[in-house]
Structure 1
Amino acid sequence: MSPPTAAELPVGESEFDRDTEVVPRSDDPGVFDAVLSSGWTISLGINGGYLLAIADRALSQVLPHPDPLSVSAYYLTASVPGPAVVRTEVVRTGRSMSTGQARVLQTDSEGNEVERLRVVAHHGDLDALPTEVRTSASPPVMPPPHQCVGAEHAPDGVFGPRETNGLIERLDVRMDPATVGWALGEPSGRGEIRGWFRLADGRPNDPLAVLLATDAFPPTAFDLGIRGWVPTLELTVHVRARPAPGPLRVVLGTRNLAGGLLEEDAEVWDSADRLVAQSRQLARTPRRTR
């Protein structure tokens, strides 16, 4: 079975649905065809949260439980726009939780299949989780979206040429003015970025969009005065609840940069002041700073 083109993939209700669509192979159970869209690139690289959503969408079709609870992804090689294959494996199934593995692969110029991403995920039913909450975490305090800073306010060149940054056009990210000094050449050194997140076409946020939100903001390395490509090596997301309608608030921070690596922790809060997801990723810092 040949991989589909973008025009042949089923059209969802939004661009995100369409561009994360996976098509099962009738003759190869657990294997899906996908097209990695150039619309979700940042500096020519495919966004890691978008890739994670594709892998988890495939897992949701083979696991008996619909929602991601814990998803760990290892980014092995750089993905490029074009056809991809998602190979899934059901590892374990239980009454309230199931576990699966997904691999995203592409074919290189020599015809070799190259693994881009490997994911291990626990799935469950978010609507069936206990409602009791005991937490010391509190939602971030920041200005409303209309008083925050969007990509259209960024100085020229901050995100590179717009033709290589399709992600910016597909997200409505509004950053807290207190955490955008790096864009003006005045990083705070605290390694913190906060802001509002939603998809630009108004698609409601769901668990897949939450996965995207954890990797949709500029890297916290920018606020440390480090600019350049900051590739993700590993990303783990814990989804705690289905988000309420409305934009999400995302807080990103790093506490330790050493050996050319830094961690980035994220909290995702919904409009009902619930902590709906937490994540941690390990990323490599650029070899040179500017």
Structure 2
Amino acid sequence: MSYEFDAVTTLAPVAGDEATLAGDFGTGWLVGKAVNGGVALAVAARALSLAAGPRYPDAIAVTGTYLNPSIAGPLTVRTDVLRRGGSLATGSALLLQPDADGTPVPRVLVQGSVGDLGALPPDDDGPTDPPTDLPAVEDCISSTENRPPSLHKSALLDRFDMRLDPATLGWALGEPSHRGMIQGWFRLRDGREPDTSMLLFAVDALPPVTADLGRLGWAPTLQLSVYARARPAPGWLQLRHETRHLSGGQFEEDARIWDSTGTLVAQARQLARVPR
């Protein structure tokens, strides 16, 4: 069976340039006219992993700096692998798209390390971050069925099934809690199971946490860093986003993801602009 997320992250080498790969965002991952930042990060990180080689299948620690909004349509990613070590390869990937006259426009610059999470030793005797206190899936509210009017035609929301914790959904009723926290359950609608590539998208899938502060609207990401801690087990993911500081028209958003076994599989932090 073919899955939509696999299609959007599929890349092919460009003839005559082994460091550049080509792909296409399509139209299914848009919020308004822009591609979701997590999807763009996943595509660029996938290019870095492919360029590094089969020994490095997982994006373990990557940071995306967002230069211009990504749009639907073709893309290329220029990669530069600086080092291939025993467990990690490190380098950069620059995602570009043509403008109206064909000039390449840089969209996202990704820097970081890729490796093999399956080859890392288990550490079972250290501190752990337990799953968030989240009601059962059936007791949460579907974001698809209860989307705000401004997102009625959002292609992105049709790609996944998200169930939001009612306790963190007061902002949708005009009653934000002002705690700066949103959490819920997440899975892709077509049944694709999670992997480390999908985690890069999932950390940016919840509504901006500023909604719980009464600040609704698009929150453009300036930079997003993601740390994959383990390969996720099949099933629903638990997502929790929080912010503790807002100033100068910017805020940080910290994300954590647990898999269906309660294992912490990803952490992320992004700096974004406050919705205007």
Output the TM-score relative to the length of structure 1. 0.91
**Is 1:275 matched with 2:264?**
yes
Partner secondary structure for residue 72 of structure 1: strand
Letter in 2 for 1:126: L
Residue 84 of structure 1 aligns with which residue?
75
User: Are the counterparts in 1 of residues 92 and 109 from structure 2 also a CA contact under 8 Å?
Assistant: yes
Provide the C-alpha distance between the structure 2 equivalents of 1:62 and 1:270, rounded to a whole number of angstroms.
Answer: 28
Q: 2:220 aligns with which of 231, 234, 244?
A: 231
User: Are the counterparts in 2 of residues 250 and 268 from structure 1 also a CA contact under 8 Å?
Assistant: yes
User: Are the counterparts in 1 of residues 257 and 267 from structure 2 also a CA contact under 8 Å?
Assistant: yes
Partner secondary structure for residue 132 of structure 2: coil
Shift of 1:38: 1.4
Residue 126 of structure 1 aligns with which residue?
117
Residue 140 of structure 2 aligns with which residue?
148
Matches within 5 A, 1:30-179: 30-64=19-53, 65-133=56-124, 134-154=126-146, 156-157=148-149, 159-162=150-153, 165-179=154-168
Provide the C-alpha distance between the structure 2 equivalents of 1:228 and 1:156, rounded to a whole number of angstroms.
Answer: 10
**Is 1:259 matched with 2:265?**
no
Shift of 1:61: 1.0
Deviation above 2 Å: which 4+ runs of structure 1? none
Letter in 2 for 1:203: R
Equivalent pairs counted in the alignment come to: 273
User: Are the counterparts in 1 of residues 180 and 244 from structure 2 also a CA contact under 8 Å?
Assistant: yes
Partner secondary structure for residue 80 of structure 1: coil
Which shifted more, 56-65 or 276-285?
56-65
Provide the C-alpha distance between the structure 1 equivalents of 2:224 and 2:148, rounded to a whole number of angstroms.
Answer: 30
Provide the C-alpha distance between the structure 2 equivalents of 1:191 and 1:91, rounded to a whole number of angstroms.
Answer: 39
Letter in 2 for 1:147: D
Partner secondary structure for residue 17 of structure 2: coil
Letter in 2 for 1:122: S
Residue 4 of structure 1 aligns with which residue?
none
Shift of 1:144: 1.4
Structure 2 unaligned segments of length 5 or more: list them: none
Structure 1 unaligned segments of length 5 or more: list them: 1-11
Partner secondary structure for residue 31 of structure 1: strand
Q: Once superposed, what is the RMSD of the aligned Cα atoms?
A: 1.3
Q: 1:29 aligns with which of 18, 42, 49?
A: 18
Q: 2:184 aligns with which of 195, 199, 213?
A: 195
Output the TM-score relative to the length of structure 2. 0.95
Provide the C-alpha distance between the structure 2 equivalents of 1:155 and 1:100, rounded to a whole number of angstroms.
Answer: 39
Partner secondary structure for residue 279 of structure 1: strand
> What fraction of aligned residue pairs are identical, expressed as a percent?
47
Residue 9 of structure 1 aligns with which residue?
none
Shift of 1:111: 2.8
Shift of 1:53: 1.0
Provide the C-alpha distance between the structure 2 equivalents of 1:156 and 1:273, rounded to a whole number of angstroms.
Answer: 30
Provide the C-alpha distance between the structure 1 equivalents of 2:181 and 2:148, rounded to a whole number of angstroms.
Answer: 22
**Is 1:248 matched with 2:240?**
no
Shift of 1:263: 0.1
Shift of 1:68: 1.0
Q: 1:226 to 1:207 in 2, by over 3 A?
A: same
Letter in 1 for 2:179: R
Partner secondary structure for residue 86 of structure 1: strand
Letter in 1 for 2:252: E
User: Are the counterparts in 1 of residues 209 and 243 from structure 2 also a CA contact under 8 Å?
Assistant: yes
Shift of 1:151: 2.0
**Is 1:209 matched with 2:198?**
yes
User: Are the counterparts in 2 of residues 155 and 184 from structure 1 also a CA contact under 8 Å?
Assistant: no
User: Are the counterparts in 2 of residues 25 and 33 from structure 1 also a CA contact under 8 Å?
Assistant: yes
